[in-house]
Amino acid sequence: MSSNKKPFIIGIAGGSGSGKTFFLNCFLHHFVQDEVTLVSQDDYYIPAGELTQEENKLYNFDLPSTIDSQQFLKDIKQLLNGEAVYKKEYNFNNPLAVVKILEIKSAPIIIVEGLFILHFKEISSLLDHTIFVDAEEKVALDRRIRRDGLERGYSEEDVLYKWNNHVVPAYNEYLLPYKNECNLIVLNNSNEPEDIIGITDQISVELRNTVLAGI
């Protein structure tokens, strides 16, 4: 990093199917590699071991206890100190996946994203700006059914089981209570990319005029 200025940390939280990944991709598109870095909660799942299809259906990934929150916190602090982080990419319990080692470099803007980032108090206290990506439940569920069917081969029945027993209870307990404390709430009910692109345009201009000015 070319400046001694402390990195600016943005926390981006959102429930399953809120469109958080698309929001993130749009947001990151506004910056070059050296300006921003992303650290994702998904890469801090505690390995559950090899699960059968039935075990995978029943295993609840939507609990804070499934995340190595202390390592997550340690790595965020390391990035804050200008140091790079090296870690294994999470493979969603796919035994056939080739595990990649991620190099996460520090940058003037650090984005921390995940379901529990506001619930983990030590992590939440490090965030300078928080964004909550939200969508109506029906919209979010339709997106989840489509994604899990296409990308992970889950039946609609399996998706609905996880949604009703894991996803919604976790959202209500560990994410929703912090919604109104966030600096910005982004409603993402439409599937029109232009809506999200417009919002990320505005945020990135503000960051360029403040955080990145003079770096």
Tell me the CATH architecture of domain 8-209.
Answer: 3-Layer(aba) Sandwich (3.40)
pTM check: above 0.75:
yes
- Look up residue 211 and give its amino acid: V
Higher pLDDT, 194 or 215: 194
For residue 174, the SS3 value is helix
The predicted-structure confidence for 150-169, as pLDDT tens digits, reads as follows 777 788 998 999 999 999 99
pLDDT for 91: 66
* Reduced DSSP (H G I as helix, E B as strand, rest coil) percent helix, strand, coil of the chain, to 5: 45, 15, 40
Cα→Cα distances 6→180, 198, 211, Å: 26, 28, 10
Going by C-beta distance under 8 Å and a sequence separation of 6 or more, which residues neighbour residue 10?
109, 110, 111, 112, 127, 128, 129, 130, 131
For residue 9, the SS3 value is strand
Assess whether pLDDT exceeds 70 at residue 95: no
The predicted-structure confidence for 39-86, as pLDDT tens digits, reads as follows 999 999 988 777 777 777 788 989 999 999 999 999 999 999 999 999
Assess whether pLDDT exceeds 60 at residue 2: no
Q: Rounded to an integer, what distance in angstroms lies between the CA atom of residue 15 and that of residue 22?
A: 13
Higher pLDDT, 2 or 151: 151
Higher pLDDT, 54 or 102: 102
| Confidence bin at 101 (pLDDT 50/70/90) | confident
Domain boundaries, the chain: 8-209
Cα→Cα distances 81→6, 67, 76, 84, 130, Å: 8, 23, 9, 9, 20
Write down how long the chain is: 215
Q: If you average pLDDT over residues 138-153, what whole number do you get? A: 87
